Structure 1
Amino acid sequence: MSETSKSNAQQLREAILSEDLVVAPGAVDALTATIATDVGFDTVYLGGYATGAATAVTEPMATMTEMSDRAREITYAVDVPLVVDGNAGFGDPAHTHRTVNHFINSGIAGMHIEDQVYPKRLHYHEGRHHITDIDSMKTKIEVADRARRDADGDIVLIARSDANRGNRRESETIEDAVNRVNEYLGAGAEVGMLFPRTWEEMEYVADHAEGPMTFVLSDNYDPRPTTEELEELGYGMVIYPTAAPVVITKHMKALYENIRDNGETGWNPEEYGDLRTYIEEIIGLPDYYDIEAASGKK
């Protein structure tokens, strides 16, 4: 089977299982996903934090349909594997089954489900993590695995554990967290996701997880390994869930402050024009010019 005839999920699965690290920058929308692919990335990630921020609410309040609708916009715009945050399945096992079906129909290649309680607590952002017991999460993974098979769909199922995060570090060790992920992998997940907070924990995860692992890199947390270091440790994928919304916010805030304080944007006209042209090119505007011209509507 040629690479072009493989589904995006098949390509993602094979890439994660290979010796090369899958690098998936986080997108906020179809435009940022298109920029990511244009500069050379062959996998993109859509997180709950980015979607919650873009809708001016917050990740725990982002709904399943908001996530799947945004994912559909991205998969329409780019033809590379998209990995999406599946929250806690957006409910109980029955809701999880429906979530998997929605995500498959949105054209995504992979999704992760976490062992936090649902509805997800807003205090999650302050480091207070409320998680379910292992058996409850295993049931969700089993149902998610069944859903993708029932739908005759292909999607990479990633199991995320929030054990050993924030307040949970007081009661659960990295060993406990790895044990949880291994249980989830045994229940039908193909890839795991944890949050080691030291280099030693990062190495422990790589050595003891019974499947490929995803590293979540946020620049306000340690450790912050390079892609080369993660590849050497044997991680399968790294995602950057919050970098895009943070950088966008920085530059948008500066722009609006400049208009407020100085009455102008402060942009160099040539650079501004070049960026507008770049946007138009990557979203395919020249192709539509050709269609209009061919139909006599130039």
Structure 2
Amino acid sequence: MADSTPISPGRRLRDAWAHGPIAIPGVFNPLVAKMAERLGFHAVYLSGGALSAGNGVPDIGLLALTEFTQAAQLTAQATTLPLLCDADTGFGEALNVERTVRMFESAGVAGIHLEDQEMPKRCGHLSGKSVVSAEVMVAKIRAAVAAKKDKDFVVLARTDAKGVHGFDDAVTRAKMYLDAGADGIFPEAMESREEFERFAKAVPGATLLANMTEFGKSPNIDVKALGAMGYRLILFPLTAFRAAMKTAEDTLRDLMTNGVQTASIPNMQTRAELYDVLGYTGYEERDRAYFGG
């Protein structure tokens, strides 16, 4: 008899990067996650930066764990794609990280990444960061691994040490984090193509994530090139968010200036296109069926 056990989100993410490299777009609401799935992406990402900005606050650790996991649950329910989530610094110390993992796993996500910054944290591509000791981060990783119920739930370790203590410290920390049980490493704010390549060579065999955010310290490198270096997960955390926010601003400015939205209509998603993404017809058909129509 065939095994009918559902494949967990974590297993689906691992299978995706095993055939990678994979581009993982940031999706700032569940509808965008649906769009990403229809377009053929293999995984999606919930960015703490986008979540914070969407709530009108900067990415400095102001939102609570429950706000993150509520957004994660709604997003995970909207798509069959595995969802990777930003879990900031784990929302506390090692024992807090246990709860963080359990709540994200219960929300239906595939995995999280934890970072080694001190609070108050800040965007990884800004100056003035500070990091906890490697030993403190190792304890958090151990707690995260111990807390997960599904062995395939993904725990990635992000290190911001390169911008604080230098490249060599980032490599040393990466090896310590892998030894502690991390499934992969996210080296934040590499400043050149050569640094990305050096890091991959310095941590051979590790599952690596490259962050291709815009307007930061890292150059924008394509998925194929990063894959050739050894990176399996290529993150585009705010790409769609930034484009959407710029379009929203331009649309509002035009409306304010002209008192009518007609000039913006060619750039809009139509009602039919929206309903198609939402599967609106299926909802109507099921509703009629429940009433015997």
TM-score (normalised: structure 1): 0.90
- Partner in structure 1 of residue 57 of structure 2: 57
- Partner in structure 2 of residue 22 of structure 1: 22
The 3-state SS of whatever aligns with 1:218 is coil
Number of aligned residue pairs: give it: 288
What does 1:77-88 correspond to in 2, within 5 Å? Answer: 77-88=78-89
Q: Please point out which of 249, 253, 262 is paired with 2:258.
A: 262
Native 8 Å contact 1:3 1:11 kept in 2: no
Q: Please point out which of 174, 194, 200 is paired with 2:194.
A: 200
- Cα distance in 1, alignment partners of residues 281 and 175 from structure 2: 49
The CA deviation at 1:266 is: 3.1
The 3-state SS of whatever aligns with 1:27 is coil
Of 197-206 and 77-86, deviating more is: 197-206
The CA deviation at 1:133 is: 0.4
The CA deviation at 1:33 is: 1.0
- Cα distance in 2, alignment partners of residues 89 and 161 from structure 1: 13
The 3-state SS of whatever aligns with 2:262 is coil
| Unpaired segments ≥5 residues, structure 2 | none
Native 8 Å contact 1:258 1:266 kept in 2: no
The 3-state SS of whatever aligns with 1:35 is helix
Native 8 Å contact 1:17 1:212 kept in 2: no
**Structure-2 change in CA distance of 1:70 and 1:251 (3 Å):** same
The 3-state SS of whatever aligns with 1:83 is strand
The CA deviation at 1:189 is: 0.4
- Partner in structure 2 of residue 131 of structure 1: 131
**Structure-2 change in CA distance of 1:23 and 1:63 (3 Å):** same
The residue type paired with residue 275 of structure 1 is T
The 3-state SS of whatever aligns with 2:98 is helix
**Structure-2 change in CA distance of 1:255 and 1:2 (3 Å):** farther
Native 8 Å contact 2:49 2:123 kept in 1: no
**Structure-2 change in CA distance of 1:271 and 1:199 (3 Å):** closer
The CA deviation at 1:173 is: 2.1
**Structure-2 change in CA distance of 1:115 and 1:200 (3 Å):** same
1:135-162 Cα deviation digits (max 9, x unpaired): 00000000000001xx346411100000
**Structure-2 change in CA distance of 1:161 and 1:124 (3 Å):** closer
- Partner in structure 2 of residue 232 of structure 1: 228
- Cα distance in 1, alignment partners of residues 267 and 158 from structure 2: 42
- Partner in structure 1 of residue 215 of structure 2: 220
Native 8 Å contact 2:45 2:85 kept in 1: yes
- Cα distance in 2, alignment partners of residues 200 and 2 from structure 1: 45
The 3-state SS of whatever aligns with 2:231 is coil
Tell me how large the CA RMSD over aligned residues is: 2.2
- Cα distance in 1, alignment partners of residues 152 and 191 from structure 2: 32
Native 8 Å contact 2:251 2:264 kept in 1: no
Native 8 Å contact 1:97 1:147 kept in 2: yes
- Cα distance in 2, alignment partners of residues 264 and 90 from structure 1: 45
The residue type paired with residue 77 of structure 2 is Y
What does 1:105-124 correspond to in 2, within 5 Å? Answer: 105-118=106-119, 120-121=120-121
- Cα distance in 1, alignment partners of residues 6 and 128 from structure 2: 44
What does 1:171-210 correspond to in 2, within 5 Å? Answer: 172-195=165-188, 196-210=190-204
1:102-133 Cα deviation digits (max 9, x unpaired): 00000000100000113x34586742111100
- Partner in structure 2 of residue 155 of structure 1: 153
- Partner in structure 2 of residue 287 of structure 1: 282
**Structure-2 change in CA distance of 1:271 and 1:236 (3 Å):** closer
The CA deviation at 1:54 is: 1.0
- Cα distance in 1, alignment partners of residues 18 and 106 from structure 2: 24
- Cα distance in 1, alignment partners of residues 4 and 237 from structure 2: 27
- Partner in structure 2 of residue 66 of structure 1: 67
- Cα distance in 2, alignment partners of residues 197 and 250 from structure 1: 26
